[in-house]
């Protein structure tokens, strides 16, 4: 990276990327723009981002928490507005990694803006979004980092892996190779993070493109992988929005837990 530029007029944070880059998502005259949804007067937290109890898991066989409620320490701290005593309660960094074109950007766009774009534009380096939540009455923000799956941008993207509390490894449920690369993505993400402090999610994408029979075959392998790497497993469709309601709350809940 040759130059880094921050523009805080409006809500844009831009990083200038080196070299002649083409074809590319978020690239605007050589600048990759990263949008921060709000930095001044904040609107109220949206109803679907208010968390009063732990959301359910997708599959009991591969879940980080199977209990139904927050632990007592968290609940009491929130009631007494003492969330400084429960670790990273205010803001958490989530990074999304995985093969080229598995649907990482679409996942984040569905998650944050409830939209879907069928046109593929490769991510250059990284991009991020901020999302605000309320957990047991206490404000909480998620910083979601979208990273490039393309090999040539991997070294730029990996410099943003550090300090993640949640790592989402995305794979395409219709592409067995993308599942087989999960361990490599995990290894790369954990090089920059304390493995004991990171919560892992294995998220299968593009479920709408899979027949029930194909999906069920793939799910066996995905569940096995999730268990081996101690990740929580989800399968979603960014096109239809299937499973997103609980998944986005789950990213927050596992951190606050
Ligand atoms: N049918 C279907 N297509 C999807 C879904 N998610 C993503 N896609 C398509 O898959 C292509 C790649 O999606 P992206 O989200 O850009 O993939 P990415 O992983 O961010 O790609 P890189 O930035 O290059 O790593 C796009 O054409 C999307 O429209 C989904 O749930 N269903």
Give, using CA atoms, the residue closest to atom 21 of ligand 1: 101
Ligand 1 pocket, 237 CB below 6 A?
A: yes
- Cα distance between residue 13 and residue 7, in whole Å: 5
Helix (H) / strand (E) element for 190: namely helix 182-191
Respond yes or no on whether ipTM tops 0.95: yes
Ligand 1 pocket, 204 CB below 6 A?
A: no
Give residue 181's pLDDT.
Answer: 98
Ligand 1 pocket, 122 CB below 6 A?
A: yes
Give residue 145's pLDDT.
Answer: 95
Cα–Cα nearest to 221, from 161, 181, 255, 167: 181
Give residue 88's pLDDT.
Answer: 54
- Cα distance between residue 61 and residue 232, in whole Å: 9
Q: What is the largest CA-CA distance in the chain?
A: 53
Beta strands in the chain (DSSP E): 3-4, 12-16, 27-28, 31-35, 50-51, 91-98, 126-135, 138-147, 166-172, 199-205, 232-235
Neighbours of 12 (CB within 10 A): 15
Return the ligand 1 atom nearest residue 117 CA.
29
Give residue 27's pLDDT.
Answer: 41
Adjacency order of strands within the sheet including 91-98: 50-51, 126-135, 138-147, 91-98, 166-172, 199-205, 232-235
pTM metric for this prediction: 0.83
- Cα distance between residue 97 and residue 95, in whole Å: 6
8-state DSSP, 10: T
Ligand 1 pocket, 55 CB below 6 A?
A: no
Ligand 1 site-directed mutation target among 23, 24, 97, 120, most atoms within 8 Å of CB: 120
Give, using CA atoms, the residue closest to atom 2 of ligand 1: 206
pLDDT tens string, the chain, 257 residues long: the values are 333 322 222 233 333 333 333 344 444 333 344 444 445 577 888 888 888 878 888 999 998 876 777 777 777 777 777 666 555 557 889 999 999 999 999 999 999 999 999 999 999 889 989 988 888 888 888 899 999 999 898 888 888 999 999 999 999 999 999 999 999 999 999 998 999 989 999 999 999 999 999 999 999 999 999 999 999 999 999 999 988 878 877 777 777 76
């Amino acid at each position: 990276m040759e130059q880094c530029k921050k523009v805080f007029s409006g809500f844009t944070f831009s990083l200038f990327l080196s070299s002649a880059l083409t074809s590319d998502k978020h690239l605007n005259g050589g600048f990759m723009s990263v949008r921060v949804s709000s930095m001044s007067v904040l609107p109220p937290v949206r109803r679907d981002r208010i968390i009063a109890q732990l959301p359910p898991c997708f599959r009991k066989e591969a879940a980080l928490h199977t209990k139904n409620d927050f632990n007592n320490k968290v609940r009491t701290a929130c009631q007494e507005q003492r969330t400084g005593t429960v670790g990273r309660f205010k803001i958490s960094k989530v990074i999304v990694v995985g093969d080229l074109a598995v649907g990482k950007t679409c996942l984040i766009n569905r998650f944050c803006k409830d939209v879907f774009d069928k046109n593929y534009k490769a991510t250059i380096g990284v991009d991020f979004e901020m999302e605000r939540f309320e957990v047991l009455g206490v404000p909480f923000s998620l910083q979601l980092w979208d990273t490039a799956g393309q090999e040539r941008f991997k070294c730029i993207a990996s410099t943003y892996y550090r300090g993640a509390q949640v790592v989402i490894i995305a794979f395409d449920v219709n592409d067995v190779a993308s599942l087989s690369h999960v361990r490599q993505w995990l290894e790369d993400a954990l090089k920059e993070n304390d493995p004991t402090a990171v919560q892992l999610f294995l998220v299968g994408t593009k479920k709408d493109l899979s027949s029930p029979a194909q999906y069920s075959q793939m799910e066996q392998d995905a569940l096995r992988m999730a268990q081996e790497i101690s990740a929580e497993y989800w399968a979603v469709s960014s096109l239809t929005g299937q499973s997103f309601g609980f998944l986005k709350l789950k990213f927050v809940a596992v951190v606050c837990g």
